[in-house]
Structures are given as structure tokens and as C-alpha cells.
Amino acid sequence: MYADMVTARYYEERLQEEYLEGKQPAFDISAGPIPGELHLAAGQEAAAAGVCHHLRDDDVVTAPHRPHHVAIAKGVDLKRMTAEIFGRETGLSSGKGGHMHLFDPDVNFACSGIIAQGCPPAAGAGLAAKKRNTDSVAVAYLGEGAIDQGGFLESLNLAAVHDLPVVFVVEDNDWAISMPQERVTDVERPASRAGGFDMPGISVDHDDAIAVYEAAREAVGRARDGNGPTVLSVQVHRRMGHFMGDPQSYRSEADQEAATARDSVERLAADLRADGVDDDTLEDIRVAAHDRVDEAIAWAKEQPKPDPEAAYEDAFVNPPSGVTDTEPEFDLAGGADR
């Protein structure tokens, strides 16, 4: 878990550097080696590692727009994920999905930029596991800003009524872009949503990786043993803006400082030291994680960019007649770098 958390934190530090290249001075979001939006999850690593360490490759995980820490903990191929984020041909989705739409069927991981989108497919994966008589489980990650979405609430109902092996993990970082939770949702803890569907809700009120691991053992175990769904809510901290380039003018300095003061990665390191793990071992894990990240980023940057014409490939299943033969109405080649 510590290796995954250190990897995720350093990965995002490196992505941040790469992302800012060429974007200044007027913040051109389409410029530089990573075009488009970038949502970082620094401060949320415990919610990923603590849950995903109970999972196998055949278990399904869906994540939202802030996915890197979860993808890393689920075992998504780091090189191909990085190539995807850099928009390269060898990326997980040939460079067409970008950082919010990572998809790795080898470890059953997907994410989406649409809030609560991952909940219905997770319920579907749970139903598939049940019909096939396997003991696979599905985990849907969502932010606290998504707990009023119909997709979440309807999925809770389906999972409850069919006793599906699904865990809904709410990463509560207090903010939905610039909206504080208390202004839009009248529950203190997202896990209390579970009560309305007569399923268990568990809250981990601090971003303590070991506490998350223990709570997830119960939730994942219940799903795997055929005892139905759980909502697991984890209090995490958004150390960064909503996306890269967010000036966070809506957020007090005290709130930002509080988020960075609570460092779940350091907290786990301290717990491990207290359990007798020596500094050299922790340092070895850190160095190996950094090397792995640096290697993935260097590899991704060497990968070819897709041929602009490839934008038309894999876009439709059963395309309506004529669609794939249509000449582009704009000059794709001119925008090839973007």
C-alpha cells in the first residue's frame, strides 16, 4: 500500500511539471505535452490503496475524473496509462481518452469524466458476477459531490434489491469544484445515504490508510461472500485545485493549509515505522516507486502521436452508412499537435 501511495503522489508531481510546460503565460489548456484538463488526487491516496489491496484483477473498478491513484492501486499498466495521458498512439485507448477516460480491460478498470457515471456499470458488473456465479466484486468510486446524482441513487437501489456484490466508495474531499458539501447536501456523512436503501454504510473519518484497509476488508468481504452491497465513505483531502490552473479563490488559505498538513502518505510511513519497518526499507520503496514513474513518463514521451485520420477509427460500433467514408469538414492535419 505504501508503494502504491508513494507512486501515486510522485506520479502526480511529475505530471504537474509536464502539464505546465508550454501552458503559460495565458494558460492555454490545449498547449503542451498533456493537452486538456488534469485533475490531481494528491491527498486521496489512502482511499485508493486501502480498498484496492483487497481486490483481484477480475474484480471491476470504476473511477471518476480524478482517477490516477485508483488506477495505480488497481494495477493499471503505468506506461500505457501515461501514454494515454500524453495522447500517444500506444496509450490505453490509443490516445483518444486522455486522463479522464482510462480503460484497462486487463485489470477491469475504467473511469469517466461524467459524475456518478461509474455507478451503473459497477452495478452491472456486480449483476454479471452474480449471474455467472463467481465471487468477483465491483467497486465504484465517486466524489461526495456525486451523492445526489440519480445514477448513484438508482445504482444503490439496484444493488440493494438484487443483493449485488458492489462497494460504493465515496471519496469525501469536502469540495465539488468550488462548492462546499454542506451547501448542497444535508447529510454530514455521505455513507448515511446507505440507510435509505437498507444497506450498511461505513465512514472512515480520517485519511488513515490502515483504517481504510480495515473498513474495506469488511465491505469487500461482505460483497465477496454474497452478502450484498455497502457504501464506504472516506474523508480525504484535496491538496490541489479542482483541476490544474484552478486559482482556488473560493477557498480559504486555512482550508488549503489544513489539507496539506494532513498527509496520508506520511501518516502511513509513520505507522509503518512504529510497527518496526526501518527507514532504509521505506526509502528503498520510495526510490523504486520514483524510478518506475520516471521510466513510465520517459517511455510515454517517446511514443508516437496518433495519425490524425485515426480519430475516425473505433469511434462507432456499427457506424451509420456513410459515416466512416465522410471527408472531414475541417483540416485535421493543421491541428495535429493539439
Ligand X SMILES: Cc1ncc(C[n+]2csc(CCOP(=O)(O)OP(=O)(O)O)c2C)c(N)n1
| Range 107-126, binding ligand X (CB under 6 A) | 113-115
Scanning residues 47 to 86, which ones bind ligand X (CB under 6 A)? 65-66
Q: Which residues 276-335 are close enough to bind ligand X by CB under 6 A?
A: none
Contact 102, 110 (CB under 8 A): yes
CA nearest to 259, candidates 234, 239, 242: 239
Strands (E) across 53-165 are located at 60-63, 103-104, 109-111, 138-143
Q: Which is nearer to Mg ion, 224 or 242 (CB)?
A: 242
Name the residue nearer to Mg ion (CB basis): 35 or 143: 143
CB 70 within 8 A of CB 9: no
The angle subtended at Cα 211 by Cα 209 and Cα 213, nearest 5°, is 70
Identify which of residues 66 and 292 has a Cβ nearer to ligand X in the complex: 66
CB of 319 to ligand X, least distance (A): 27
CA 163 to chain centre: 25
Angle at 323 between CA 319 and CA 328, to 5 degrees: 140
Residues 140-169 that bind ligand X (CB under 6 A): 143-146
Q: Which is nearer to ligand X, 143 or 306 (CB)?
A: 143
Q: Which of 109/141 has CB closer to Mg ion? A: 141
CB 204 within 8 A of CB 233: yes
Binding pattern for the stretch 173-212 against Mg ion, x by CB under 5 A and - elsewhere: x-xx------------------------------------
What is the contact surface with ligand X in residues (CB under 6 A)?
A: 65-66, 113-115, 143-146, 173, 175-177, 242
Q: Catalog residues that contact Mg ion under the rule CB under 5 A.
A: 143-145, 173, 175-176
